[in-house]
Amino acid sequence: MRVLVNAGPWLPVPPRGYGGIENVVATLVPELRELGVEVVLATVADSELAVDERLAVFARGQFPLLQRPYNQVCGVVPAHQNAVLRRVAAGDIDLVHDHVEAAGPTTLAALGLPSLHTLHWDLQKHPELYGTFDSHVRVNGVSADQLSHAPDALRRHSVGHVHLATPLAVGADRRQAVRKEAYAVVLGRITAGKGQDLAARLAHEHRFDLVLAGPVGPCHNPEDLATADQQNPDVMYWREKVAPYVDGARVRWIGSVMGKARDELLAGARVALFPLRWNEPGGTAVVESLALGTPVVGIARGCLPELVEHGRTGLLTADEDQLGELIEAADALDERECREEAARRFTPAVMAAQYLRIYERLIEQPPV
């Protein structure tokens, strides 16, 4: 089976820093190849992921362009998508697995080939992206909750959901437990939907130490903030809602963390906190926390109730004010349960096997 995986023109795969979709592709593709799938990856030329064939129009990721007005960047996606169409016209591709938002399904509709589009967004927040979706393309979500918010036109094309995975889950059940420190952590982009202001307020009210890790808009370090666009919505959220609670003692912001530093931060935390105000669609950071043996405490919305078992691998509540009380209660949870759950459910191999079953079904019975 030869599958064209379309990762889009925005960032290399794997991404060098932030890059949710590109991370998912980087986790999935090696496992697909292990299962015997030949992968043609549509990406940018400086992607380093090993594939059977790389297809690229742009030398580098075009993500920095997204800071500009949309009409200055709108040529990027068609140029990339046209290259996909030309490659598919060669006739040797069995299926296209597309990850490019909005433009993806429209292009796929023209292919006349079994095509799967993975939804990565919170569809409630971005209904306009898919409002007019209607084609023979099939879609999958990254959680059941995400699909439940999808417009009807899109849900009719759904083949179900496949939860996200993390390489950290491989062998997580056999890893040694790490000594826990006294802090709770929120790992993720600092943005209103992820609710860092709520976590920071609760840290003061319930007297627990809190580390916030993640970028604020384009700023990866506190020093970047002074020169950032002050109208950026995430910069405004930080300045107005979060920063007033950040005292450098009870609540600290450490900027973006990567690689080993990120893993040590997560593994050393007593809990990973997800004070959600949006319907988190897939929650990579949730499965990473579990894989590193850190129980999850959060608002019971989005994908959280699907990924976290209340009372075993974490504690969830619908009530923002109750969230603070759960931090201490979570200390009683067994971190081994988290690691075992991740090793069972959230490895790249589990995810790839699910996608392969979908591919086989779509190739056998192409949607009409």
206 within 8 A of 271, measured Cβ to Cβ: no
Residue 129: CB minimum distance to ligand UDP, A: 15
Question: Does residue 257 touch ligand UDP according to CB under 6 A?
Answer: yes
Residue 292: CB minimum distance to ligand UDP, A: 10
> 6, 196, 256, 347: which one contacts ligand UDP (CB under 6 A)?
256
* Closer to ligand UDP by Cβ: residue 280 or 341: 280
31 within 8 A of 351, measured Cβ to Cβ: yes
Question: Does residue 161 touch ligand UDP according to CB under 6 A?
Answer: no
* Closer to ligand UDP by Cβ: residue 189 or 277: 189
Residue type, 151: P
Residue 139: CB minimum distance to ligand UDP, A: 18
- Could you write out the DSSP letters of every residue in 84-128? HHHHHTTS---EEEE--TTHHHHHHHTT-S-EEEE--S-TTT-GG
Q: Which stretch binds ligand UDP (CB under 6 A): 44-52, 182-190, 239-247, 335-343?
A: 182-190
* Closer to ligand UDP by Cβ: residue 111 or 185: 185
**How many of the chain's residues bind ligand UDP (CB under 6 A)?**
16
* Closer to ligand UDP by Cβ: residue 16 or 344: 16
Hey, is 198 helix, strand or coil? helix
Residue list 276-315, contact with ligand UDP (CB under 6 A): 282-285, 288
Residue 83: CB minimum distance to ligand UDP, A: 26
* Closer to ligand UDP by Cβ: residue 98 or 288: 288
Q: In what order do the strands lie in the sheet with 209-213?
A: 251-253, 209-213, 183-187, 271-274, 296-299, 314-317
Q: How far apart are CA 309 and CA 298, in angstroms?
A: 11
> Which tokens go with 279?
């319907």
Question: Does residue 23 touch ligand UDP according to CB under 6 A?
Answer: yes
Question: Does residue 81 touch ligand UDP according to CB under 6 A?
Answer: no
* Closer to ligand UDP by Cβ: residue 153 or 258: 258
140 within 8 A of 119, measured Cβ to Cβ: yes
Task: List CB contacts of 239: < 8 A, sequence separation 6 or more.
Answer: 230
Q: Which stretch binds ligand UDP (CB under 6 A): 40-48, 237-245, 250-258, 314-322?
A: 250-258
Q: How far apart are CA 167 and CA 111, in angstroms?
A: 32
Which of 71, 78, 105, 93 minimizes the C-alpha distance to 9? 78
**Nearest residue (beta carbon) to ligand UDP:** 20
Q: How far apart are CA 339 and CA 350, in angstroms?
A: 15
Question: Does residue 199 touch ligand UDP according to CB under 6 A?
Answer: no
> 88, 169, 172, 213: which one contacts ligand UDP (CB under 6 A)?
213
End-to-end CA distance of the chain: 20
Binding site for ligand UDP (CB under 6 A): 20, 23, 187-189, 213-214, 256-258, 262, 282-285, 288
